[in-house]
A = this chain, B = another copy of it.
Amino acid sequence: MKKQIIKPTILPGFMELLPREQMQFNQIIMIIQNTFEKNGFLPMDTPIIEKSEVLLAKGGEETDKQTYSFDRGRNNLALRFDLTVPFARYSAQYLPELTFPFRRYQIGKVFRGERNQKGRFREFYQCDIDVISNRELSIANDAELPSIMHTIFKRIGLKNFKIRINNRKLLNGFLEYLEIFDSTKVLRSIDKIYKIGIDTFKVEMNGLGVTEDKIFSIIDFISISGKNDEILDSLKKLGMENDTFLSGLRELEQTITYMKYFGIPDESYVIDLKIARGLDYYTGTVYETILNDYPEFGSICSGGRYDNLAQYYTIQKLQGVGMSIGLTRLFSLMLEKGMLKESQFGNLTRVLILTMDDNVEFAAGIAEKMKSHGINTQIYFEDDKLARKLSYANKLGIEYVIIIGEREIKNGTLQVKNMITGEQKELNIKDTISALGG
Protein backbone atom coordinates (compact mmCIF):
# COMPACT_ATOMS: atom_id res chain seq x y z
CA MET A 1 0.00 0.00 0.00
CA LYS A 2 1.46 3.34 -0.98
CA LYS A 3 1.40 5.90 1.82
CA GLN A 4 -0.42 9.11 1.11
CA ILE A 5 1.78 12.21 1.31
CA ILE A 6 0.07 15.40 2.46
CA LYS A 7 1.50 18.63 1.12
CA PRO A 8 3.21 20.44 4.00
CA THR A 9 1.78 23.97 4.08
CA ILE A 10 0.50 26.47 6.61
CA LEU A 11 -2.55 28.73 6.40
CA PRO A 12 -2.22 32.17 4.81
CA GLY A 13 -1.86 35.01 7.32
CA PHE A 14 0.41 33.03 9.65
CA MET A 15 4.09 33.92 9.98
CA GLU A 16 6.64 31.13 10.02
CA LEU A 17 10.39 31.75 9.91
CA LEU A 18 13.54 29.89 9.01
CA PRO A 19 15.98 29.46 11.92
CA ARG A 20 18.13 32.47 11.04
CA GLU A 21 15.13 34.81 10.93
CA GLN A 22 13.64 33.15 13.99
CA MET A 23 16.84 33.98 15.88
CA GLN A 24 16.44 37.62 14.92
CA PHE A 25 12.79 37.59 15.95
CA ASN A 26 13.62 35.97 19.30
CA GLN A 27 16.41 38.47 19.82
CA ILE A 28 13.87 41.28 19.49
CA ILE A 29 11.50 39.54 21.90
CA MET A 30 14.39 39.27 24.38
CA ILE A 31 15.19 42.97 24.05
CA ILE A 32 11.56 43.88 24.65
CA GLN A 33 11.22 41.58 27.64
CA ASN A 34 14.52 42.73 29.11
CA THR A 35 13.61 46.41 28.74
CA PHE A 36 10.18 45.89 30.32
CA GLU A 37 11.75 44.05 33.26
CA LYS A 38 14.52 46.61 33.64
CA ASN A 39 11.78 49.15 34.29
CA GLY A 40 10.00 47.17 36.96
CA PHE A 41 7.23 45.55 34.94
CA LEU A 42 6.05 42.15 36.11
CA PRO A 43 5.34 39.28 33.71
CA MET A 44 1.82 38.00 33.09
CA ASP A 45 0.39 35.25 30.95
CA THR A 46 -3.19 34.25 30.24
CA PRO A 47 -4.72 31.27 28.43
CA ILE A 48 -5.03 31.46 24.66
CA ILE A 49 -8.48 29.90 24.95
CA GLU A 50 -11.16 31.46 27.14
CA LYS A 51 -14.93 31.30 27.35
CA SER A 52 -16.51 33.43 24.62
CA GLU A 53 -18.90 35.07 27.07
CA VAL A 54 -15.88 36.33 29.02
CA LEU A 55 -13.66 37.41 26.11
CA LEU A 56 -16.53 38.99 24.21
CA ALA A 57 -18.19 40.59 27.26
CA LYS A 58 -17.89 44.02 25.73
CA GLY A 59 -19.38 43.00 22.41
CA GLY A 60 -18.88 44.92 19.20
CA GLU A 61 -19.72 43.36 15.89
CA GLU A 62 -16.27 43.77 14.31
CA THR A 63 -14.49 41.99 17.16
CA ASP A 64 -17.06 39.20 17.31
CA LYS A 65 -16.75 38.55 13.60
CA GLN A 66 -12.95 38.39 13.66
CA THR A 67 -12.70 36.18 16.72
CA TYR A 68 -11.94 32.49 16.26
CA SER A 69 -14.63 30.76 18.29
CA PHE A 70 -16.04 27.26 18.46
CA ASP A 71 -18.20 24.98 20.59
CA ARG A 72 -16.62 22.40 22.86
CA GLY A 73 -18.70 20.42 25.35
CA ARG A 74 -21.21 22.82 26.87
CA ASN A 75 -19.09 25.91 26.26
CA ASN A 76 -18.50 28.27 23.38
CA LEU A 77 -14.77 28.98 23.42
CA ALA A 78 -12.77 31.76 21.81
CA LEU A 79 -9.10 32.46 21.09
CA ARG A 80 -7.89 35.74 22.57
CA PHE A 81 -7.92 38.56 19.98
CA ASP A 82 -5.84 40.95 22.06
CA LEU A 83 -4.05 41.02 25.44
CA THR A 84 -6.10 43.87 26.91
CA VAL A 85 -9.35 42.00 27.47
CA PRO A 86 -7.60 39.07 29.23
CA PHE A 87 -5.68 41.65 31.30
CA ALA A 88 -8.95 43.30 32.33
CA ARG A 89 -10.44 39.91 33.26
CA TYR A 90 -7.23 38.94 35.15
CA SER A 91 -7.18 42.21 37.12
CA ALA A 92 -10.77 41.73 38.21
CA GLN A 93 -10.31 38.03 39.00
CA TYR A 94 -7.22 38.45 41.22
CA LEU A 95 -8.05 41.93 42.51
CA PRO A 96 -7.35 41.24 46.21
CA GLU A 97 -4.02 39.60 45.42
CA LEU A 98 -2.60 42.37 43.25
CA THR A 99 -0.50 45.24 44.57
CA PHE A 100 -1.30 48.62 43.05
CA PRO A 101 0.08 50.42 41.11
CA PHE A 102 0.32 47.14 39.19
CA ARG A 103 2.87 47.27 36.40
CA ARG A 104 2.52 44.33 34.11
CA TYR A 105 3.88 43.28 30.75
CA GLN A 106 2.59 40.51 28.53
CA ILE A 107 4.09 39.21 25.31
CA GLY A 108 2.08 36.64 23.41
CA LYS A 109 0.22 35.55 20.33
CA VAL A 110 -3.28 36.81 19.58
CA PHE A 111 -5.65 35.70 16.83
CA ARG A 112 -7.92 37.52 14.40
CA GLY A 113 -9.65 35.84 11.50
CA GLU A 114 -9.28 38.85 9.23
CA ARG A 115 -9.80 38.93 5.52
CA ASN A 116 -6.52 37.78 4.01
CA GLN A 117 -4.42 40.74 2.79
CA LYS A 118 -0.77 41.68 2.59
CA GLY A 119 0.72 42.87 5.87
CA ARG A 120 -2.22 41.59 7.93
CA PHE A 121 -1.73 38.59 10.14
CA ARG A 122 -4.27 36.23 11.65
CA GLU A 123 -1.84 35.12 14.34
CA PHE A 124 0.50 37.78 15.66
CA TYR A 125 2.53 38.79 18.68
CA GLN A 126 1.49 41.69 20.83
CA CYS A 127 3.88 43.15 23.40
CA ASP A 128 1.93 45.11 26.00
CA ILE A 129 2.82 47.17 29.03
CA ASP A 130 0.28 48.73 31.36
CA VAL A 131 0.31 50.44 34.73
CA ILE A 132 -3.02 50.30 36.55
CA SER A 133 -4.22 51.41 39.94
CA ASN A 134 -7.34 51.36 42.08
CA ARG A 135 -6.49 54.96 43.09
CA GLU A 136 -5.18 57.96 41.22
CA LEU A 137 -2.30 57.28 38.88
CA SER A 138 0.37 59.95 38.30
CA ILE A 139 0.59 61.53 34.85
CA ALA A 140 4.33 60.70 35.02
CA ASN A 141 3.35 57.18 33.94
CA ASP A 142 1.98 58.60 30.68
CA ALA A 143 5.49 59.90 29.96
CA GLU A 144 7.44 56.89 31.21
CA LEU A 145 5.71 54.35 28.96
CA PRO A 146 6.69 56.01 25.66
CA SER A 147 10.23 56.44 27.00
CA ILE A 148 10.40 52.66 27.54
CA MET A 149 9.08 52.04 24.03
CA HIS A 150 11.61 54.56 22.69
CA THR A 151 14.43 52.60 24.35
CA ILE A 152 13.14 49.41 22.76
CA PHE A 153 12.94 50.92 19.27
CA LYS A 154 16.50 52.15 19.55
CA ARG A 155 17.75 48.82 20.82
CA ILE A 156 16.11 46.81 18.04
CA GLY A 157 17.64 49.09 15.45
CA LEU A 158 14.79 51.40 14.37
CA LYS A 159 16.22 54.79 13.50
CA ASN A 160 13.58 56.97 12.00
CA PHE A 161 10.35 56.94 13.96
CA LYS A 162 8.11 59.38 15.75
CA ILE A 163 5.81 58.90 18.72
CA ARG A 164 2.69 60.98 18.11
CA ILE A 165 0.93 62.02 21.27
CA ASN A 166 -2.39 63.66 22.03
CA ASN A 167 -4.93 63.90 24.82
CA ARG A 168 -8.53 62.96 24.17
CA LYS A 169 -9.77 65.58 26.60
CA LEU A 170 -8.55 68.26 24.21
CA LEU A 171 -10.65 66.87 21.38
CA ASN A 172 -13.61 66.13 23.65
CA GLY A 173 -13.46 69.58 25.20
CA PHE A 174 -13.20 71.25 21.82
CA LEU A 175 -16.19 69.28 20.49
CA GLU A 176 -18.15 70.21 23.65
CA TYR A 177 -17.28 73.83 23.01
CA LEU A 178 -18.62 73.43 19.45
CA GLU A 179 -21.71 71.85 21.00
CA ILE A 180 -21.15 68.57 19.19
CA PHE A 181 -22.23 66.19 21.94
CA ASP A 182 -22.28 62.91 20.04
CA SER A 183 -18.51 62.98 19.70
CA THR A 184 -17.75 59.25 19.26
CA LYS A 185 -18.34 59.16 15.50
CA VAL A 186 -16.48 62.43 14.97
CA LEU A 187 -13.48 61.03 16.87
CA ARG A 188 -13.53 57.89 14.72
CA SER A 189 -13.39 60.01 11.58
CA ILE A 190 -10.56 62.12 12.97
CA ASP A 191 -8.72 58.94 13.90
CA LYS A 192 -8.56 57.79 10.29
CA ILE A 193 -7.98 61.20 8.72
CA TYR A 194 -4.43 60.28 7.66
CA LYS A 195 -5.95 57.42 5.70
CA ILE A 196 -9.10 59.00 4.24
CA GLY A 197 -7.87 62.58 3.70
CA ILE A 198 -9.51 65.94 4.41
CA ASP A 199 -12.12 65.73 1.64
CA THR A 200 -13.59 62.41 2.74
CA PHE A 201 -13.48 63.68 6.31
CA LYS A 202 -15.66 66.65 5.28
CA VAL A 203 -18.13 64.33 3.58
CA GLU A 204 -18.34 62.17 6.70
CA MET A 205 -18.89 65.25 8.90
CA ASN A 206 -21.65 66.42 6.56
CA GLY A 207 -23.19 62.99 6.89
CA LEU A 208 -23.19 63.36 10.66
CA GLY A 209 -24.99 66.72 10.34
CA VAL A 210 -22.06 68.86 11.46
CA THR A 211 -22.39 72.35 10.02
CA GLU A 212 -19.87 73.76 7.54
CA ASP A 213 -18.35 76.31 9.95
CA LYS A 214 -17.91 73.71 12.67
CA ILE A 215 -16.21 71.35 10.19
CA PHE A 216 -13.73 74.12 9.37
CA SER A 217 -13.19 74.78 13.08
CA ILE A 218 -12.40 71.11 13.64
CA ILE A 219 -10.01 71.01 10.68
CA ASP A 220 -8.28 74.19 11.85
CA PHE A 221 -7.97 72.74 15.33
CA ILE A 222 -6.53 69.36 14.42
CA SER A 223 -4.15 71.00 11.93
CA ILE A 224 -2.35 73.04 14.58
CA SER A 225 1.29 72.13 14.13
CA GLY A 226 4.84 73.19 14.92
CA LYS A 227 7.27 72.26 17.64
CA ASN A 228 5.74 70.87 20.83
CA ASP A 229 6.14 74.18 22.69
CA GLU A 230 4.57 76.06 19.80
CA ILE A 231 1.58 73.72 19.68
CA LEU A 232 1.05 74.06 23.44
CA ASP A 233 1.25 77.87 23.04
CA SER A 234 -1.27 77.83 20.20
CA LEU A 235 -3.62 75.71 22.30
CA LYS A 236 -3.33 78.14 25.23
CA LYS A 237 -3.96 81.11 22.93
CA LEU A 238 -7.29 79.60 21.86
CA GLY A 239 -8.52 80.90 25.22
CA MET A 240 -10.87 77.95 25.71
CA GLU A 241 -12.65 77.96 29.05
CA ASN A 242 -14.02 74.43 28.78
CA ASP A 243 -12.93 72.36 31.83
CA THR A 244 -12.36 69.14 29.90
CA PHE A 245 -10.17 71.00 27.43
CA LEU A 246 -8.15 72.75 30.15
CA SER A 247 -7.62 69.52 32.02
CA GLY A 248 -6.41 67.83 28.83
CA LEU A 249 -4.07 70.75 28.09
CA ARG A 250 -2.57 70.54 31.59
CA GLU A 251 -2.06 66.78 31.27
CA LEU A 252 -0.53 67.01 27.82
CA GLU A 253 1.86 69.75 28.87
CA GLN A 254 2.99 67.72 31.89
CA THR A 255 3.40 64.58 29.80
CA ILE A 256 5.50 66.42 27.24
CA THR A 257 7.69 67.92 29.96
CA TYR A 258 8.17 64.56 31.67
CA MET A 259 9.00 62.84 28.38
CA LYS A 260 12.04 65.10 28.19
CA TYR A 261 13.00 64.07 31.76
CA PHE A 262 12.78 60.44 30.71
CA GLY A 263 15.33 61.09 28.02
CA ILE A 264 13.28 60.88 24.82
CA PRO A 265 15.07 63.10 22.28
CA ASP A 266 13.05 66.00 20.83
CA GLU A 267 12.99 64.58 17.31
CA SER A 268 11.32 61.35 18.47
CA TYR A 269 7.99 62.69 19.74
CA VAL A 270 5.48 65.23 18.61
CA ILE A 271 2.05 66.44 19.67
CA ASP A 272 -0.42 65.55 16.94
CA LEU A 273 -4.01 66.66 17.49
CA LYS A 274 -5.20 64.31 14.77
CA ILE A 275 -4.47 61.23 16.92
CA ALA A 276 -7.76 60.10 18.45
CA ARG A 277 -7.57 56.24 18.54
CA GLY A 278 -10.67 54.35 17.49
CA LEU A 279 -11.26 52.48 20.72
CA ASP A 280 -13.75 54.27 22.88
CA TYR A 281 -12.26 53.28 26.20
CA TYR A 282 -9.38 55.78 26.05
CA THR A 283 -10.04 58.85 28.17
CA GLY A 284 -6.81 60.89 28.28
CA THR A 285 -3.39 60.53 26.71
CA VAL A 286 -3.29 58.64 23.39
CA TYR A 287 -0.26 57.50 21.41
CA GLU A 288 0.66 56.21 17.99
CA THR A 289 4.11 55.57 16.56
CA ILE A 290 4.96 56.10 12.93
CA LEU A 291 7.99 55.02 10.93
CA ASN A 292 8.92 58.21 9.08
CA ASP A 293 10.00 56.25 6.00
CA TYR A 294 6.82 54.15 5.91
CA PRO A 295 3.97 56.37 7.16
CA GLU A 296 1.45 54.36 5.11
CA PHE A 297 2.33 51.32 7.23
CA GLY A 298 0.36 52.86 10.10
CA SER A 299 1.16 52.76 13.79
CA ILE A 300 3.67 50.22 15.11
CA CYS A 301 3.01 51.02 18.76
CA SER A 302 -0.16 52.54 20.17
CA GLY A 303 -2.02 52.98 23.39
CA GLY A 304 -3.39 55.44 25.84
CA ARG A 305 -4.92 56.19 29.19
CA TYR A 306 -8.20 54.72 30.36
CA ASP A 307 -10.51 55.23 33.33
CA ASN A 308 -12.16 51.89 33.81
CA LEU A 309 -10.19 48.93 32.53
CA ALA A 310 -12.23 46.08 33.94
CA GLN A 311 -15.75 47.51 33.86
CA TYR A 312 -17.25 44.33 32.40
CA TYR A 313 -15.82 42.16 35.20
CA THR A 314 -15.90 44.22 38.39
CA ILE A 315 -17.44 47.35 39.89
CA GLN A 316 -13.95 48.34 41.13
CA LYS A 317 -12.69 51.16 38.92
CA LEU A 318 -9.16 50.55 37.67
CA GLN A 319 -7.50 53.42 35.90
CA GLY A 320 -4.37 52.97 33.88
CA VAL A 321 -2.21 53.71 30.91
CA GLY A 322 -0.81 51.22 28.43
CA MET A 323 1.04 50.79 25.16
CA SER A 324 1.31 47.87 22.79
CA ILE A 325 3.70 46.89 19.99
CA GLY A 326 2.25 44.83 17.13
CA LEU A 327 5.45 42.86 16.71
CA THR A 328 4.70 40.37 13.94
CA ARG A 329 3.72 43.10 11.47
CA LEU A 330 6.69 45.26 12.45
CA PHE A 331 9.11 42.36 12.16
CA SER A 332 7.81 41.35 8.74
CA LEU A 333 8.34 44.95 7.54
CA MET A 334 11.86 45.04 8.99
CA LEU A 335 12.59 41.76 7.26
CA GLU A 336 11.18 42.96 3.93
CA LYS A 337 12.96 46.32 4.00
CA GLY A 338 16.30 44.98 5.19
CA MET A 339 16.11 46.82 8.49
CA LEU A 340 17.52 43.87 10.42
CA LYS A 341 21.28 44.05 10.59
CA GLU A 342 23.12 40.72 10.37
CA SER A 343 25.87 42.02 12.64
CA GLN A 344 23.40 43.07 15.29
CA PHE A 345 22.00 39.62 15.88
CA GLY A 346 24.56 37.12 14.67
CA ASN A 347 24.34 33.41 15.21
CA LEU A 348 23.65 31.75 18.49
CA THR A 349 26.33 29.10 18.08
CA ARG A 350 29.89 30.47 18.20
CA VAL A 351 31.98 27.32 18.03
CA LEU A 352 31.66 24.06 16.17
CA ILE A 353 33.90 21.23 17.39
CA LEU A 354 34.83 18.70 14.73
CA THR A 355 35.59 15.25 15.99
CA MET A 356 35.61 11.58 15.13
CA ASP A 357 33.35 9.18 16.99
CA ASP A 358 36.32 7.80 18.86
CA ASN A 359 37.28 11.09 20.48
CA VAL A 360 33.85 12.12 21.70
CA GLU A 361 35.14 12.04 25.27
CA PHE A 362 37.85 14.62 24.61
CA ALA A 363 35.48 16.77 22.53
CA ALA A 364 32.79 16.65 25.22
CA GLY A 365 35.31 17.88 27.78
CA ILE A 366 36.38 20.78 25.56
CA ALA A 367 32.74 21.70 24.83
CA GLU A 368 31.95 21.69 28.55
CA LYS A 369 34.81 24.12 29.24
CA MET A 370 33.75 26.44 26.40
CA LYS A 371 30.15 26.50 27.62
CA SER A 372 31.16 27.14 31.22
CA HIS A 373 32.84 30.30 29.89
CA GLY A 374 29.59 31.39 28.23
CA ILE A 375 30.58 30.33 24.70
CA ASN A 376 27.77 28.57 22.85
CA THR A 377 29.26 25.38 21.47
CA GLN A 378 28.13 22.53 19.28
CA ILE A 379 29.90 19.26 18.52
CA TYR A 380 29.68 17.77 15.04
CA PHE A 381 29.49 14.04 15.71
CA GLU A 382 28.89 12.57 12.29
CA ASP A 383 31.68 10.86 10.39
CA ASP A 384 31.86 13.12 7.30
CA LYS A 385 34.62 14.62 5.19
CA LEU A 386 36.29 17.73 6.63
CA ALA A 387 35.11 19.86 3.70
CA ARG A 388 31.51 18.94 4.43
CA LYS A 389 31.89 19.82 8.10
CA LEU A 390 33.47 23.19 7.31
CA SER A 391 30.69 23.92 4.86
CA TYR A 392 28.16 23.12 7.60
CA ALA A 393 29.78 25.74 9.86
CA ASN A 394 29.73 28.24 7.01
CA LYS A 395 26.09 27.66 6.18
CA LEU A 396 25.06 28.18 9.80
CA GLY A 397 27.32 31.23 10.14
CA ILE A 398 29.33 29.70 12.98
CA GLU A 399 32.41 31.86 13.61
CA TYR A 400 34.97 29.36 14.88
CA VAL A 401 35.70 25.72 14.17
CA ILE A 402 37.83 23.63 16.50
CA ILE A 403 39.45 20.59 14.90
CA ILE A 404 40.57 17.73 17.12
CA GLY A 405 42.81 14.96 15.82
CA GLU A 406 45.11 12.35 17.34
CA ARG A 407 48.02 14.79 17.52
CA GLU A 408 45.95 17.45 19.30
CA ILE A 409 44.69 14.99 21.89
CA LYS A 410 48.28 13.88 22.54
CA ASN A 411 49.56 17.48 22.85
CA GLY A 412 46.48 18.78 24.65
CA THR A 413 46.03 21.44 21.97
CA LEU A 414 43.30 22.49 19.55
CA GLN A 415 43.34 23.58 15.93
CA VAL A 416 41.25 26.76 15.99
CA LYS A 417 40.01 28.06 12.66
CA ASN A 418 38.37 31.46 12.24
CA MET A 419 35.76 30.85 9.54
CA ILE A 420 35.60 34.52 8.57
CA THR A 421 39.31 35.26 8.11
CA GLY A 422 40.29 31.67 7.34
CA GLU A 423 43.15 31.96 9.84
CA GLN A 424 44.03 28.74 11.68
CA LYS A 425 46.10 28.45 14.87
CA GLU A 426 47.14 25.69 17.24
CA LEU A 427 46.20 26.83 20.74
CA ASN A 428 45.78 25.29 24.16
CA ILE A 429 42.29 25.33 25.68
CA LYS A 430 42.96 28.36 27.89
CA ASP A 431 44.20 30.51 25.01
CA THR A 432 41.30 29.32 22.86
CA ILE A 433 38.78 30.50 25.44
CA SER A 434 40.40 33.89 25.79
CA ALA A 435 40.75 34.23 22.01
CA LEU A 436 36.97 33.75 21.83
CA GLY A 437 36.41 36.36 24.51
CA GLY A 438 35.15 33.81 27.06
A residues contacting B by CB (< 8 A) are 3-11, 14-19, 22-23, 25-26, 37-40, 42-51, 53-54, 57, 68-72, 75, 77, 79, 89-90, 92-94, 97-99, 101, 103-104, 109, 111, 113, 122-123, 133, 135-138, 140-141, 144, 258, 261-263, 310-315, 348-349, 352, 357, 360-361, 364-365, 368, 371, 376-383, 392, 395-396
The 6 tightest CB contacts between A and B, nearest first, are A40-B378, A70-B70, A138-B381, A8-B93, A19-B42, A140-B381
Please report the C-alpha to C-alpha distance between residue A44 and residue B46 in the assembled complex, in whole angstroms.
Answer: 22
Contact of A141 (CB < 8 Å), options: B23, B313, B381 = B381
Interchain CB contact under 8 A, A382 and B136: yes
Interchain CB contact under 8 A, B352 and A6: no
User: Given A18-B94, A141-B381, A261-B365, 12 more contacts at CB 8 Å?
Assistant: A6-B54, A8-B314, A9-B51, A10-B54, A18-B98, A22-B42, A40-B377, A42-B348, A48-B109, A49-B111, A137-B381, A137-B382
* Given the contacts A89-B8, A92-B8, A371 and B39 also touching, CB distance less than 8 Å: yes
- Among A11, A71, A94, A101, max chain B CB count under 10 A is at A11
Interchain CB contact under 8 A, A312 and B261: no
Interchain CB contact under 8 A, A312 and B3: yes
Q: Inside 8 A of A43's CB, which chain B residues have their CB? A: 19, 22-23, 26, 348
**Minimum CB distance partner of A22 in chain B:** B43
Interchain CB contact under 8 A, A9 and B42: no
Please report the C-alpha to C-alpha distance between residue A18 and residue B44 in the assembled complex, in whole angstroms.
Answer: 7
22 A–B contacts, CB within 8 A, in A order: A5-B312, A6-B54, A8-B313, A10-B89, A11-B47, A15-B47, A16-B46, A16-B47, A19-B42, A19-B43, A19-B98, A22-B45, A38-B377, A39-B377, A40-B379, A42-B349, A47-B123, A48-B109, A48-B111, A48-B123, A138-B357, A138-B382
Expressed in whole angstroms, the minimum distance between the Cβ of A38 and any Cβ of chain B is 5
Q: Inside 8 A of A14's CB, which chain B residues have their CB? A: 47, 49
Please report the C-alpha to C-alpha distance between residue A22 and residue B75 in the assembled complex, in whole angstroms.
Answer: 27
Interchain CB contact under 8 A, B47 and A19: no
Please report the C-alpha to C-alpha distance between residue A390 and residue B69 in the assembled complex, in whole angstroms.
Answer: 45
Contact of A352 (CB < 8 Å), options: B40, B48, B50, B98 = B40
Please report the C-alpha to C-alpha distance between residue A377 and residue B262 in the assembled complex, in whole angstroms.
Answer: 13
Q: Inside 8 A of A357's CB, which chain B residues have their CB? A: 138, 140
Contact of A311 (CB < 8 Å), options: B3, B50, B97 = B3
Q: Inside 8 A of A22's CB, which chain B residues have their CB? A: 42-45
Interchain CB contact under 8 A, A348 and B40: yes
- Among A10, A54, A144, max chain B CB count under 10 A is at A10
Expressed in whole angstroms, the minimum distance between the Cβ of A334 and any Cβ of chain B is 17
Q: Inside 8 A of A392's CB, which chain B residues have their CB? A: 99
Q: Inside 8 A of A135's CB, which chain B residues have their CB? A: 382
Interchain CB contact under 8 A, B19 and A44: yes
Interchain CB contact under 8 A, A11 and B51: yes
- Among A19, A39, A69, A315, max chain B CB count under 10 A is at A19
Q: Inside 8 A of A42's CB, which chain B residues have their CB? A: 19, 22-23, 348-349, 396
Expressed in whole angstroms, the minimum distance between the Cβ of A53 and any Cβ of chain B is 6
Interchain CB contact under 8 A, A378 and B11: no
Q: Inside 8 A of A101's CB, which chain B residues have their CB? A: 380-382
Expressed in whole angstroms, the minimum distance between the Cβ of A18 and any Cβ of chain B is 6
**Minimum CB distance partner of A113 in chain B:** B72
Expressed in whole angstroms, the minimum distance between the Cβ of A90 and any Cβ of chain B is 7
Q: Inside 8 A of A40's CB, which chain B residues have their CB? A: 348-349, 352, 376-379
Q: Inside 8 A of A378's CB, which chain B residues have their CB? A: 39-40, 103
Expressed in whole angstroms, the minimum distance between the Cβ of A373 and any Cβ of chain B is 11
Q: Inside 8 A of A49's CB, which chain B residues have their CB? A: 11, 14, 68, 79, 111, 122-123
Please report the C-alpha to C-alpha distance between residue A40 and residue B377 in the assembled complex, in whole angstroms.
Answer: 6
* Given the contacts A49-B68, A135-B382, A352-B40, A6 and B312 also touching, CB distance less than 8 Å: yes
Q: Inside 8 A of A133's CB, which chain B residues have their CB? A: 382
Q: Inside 8 A of A26's CB, which chain B residues have their CB? A: 43
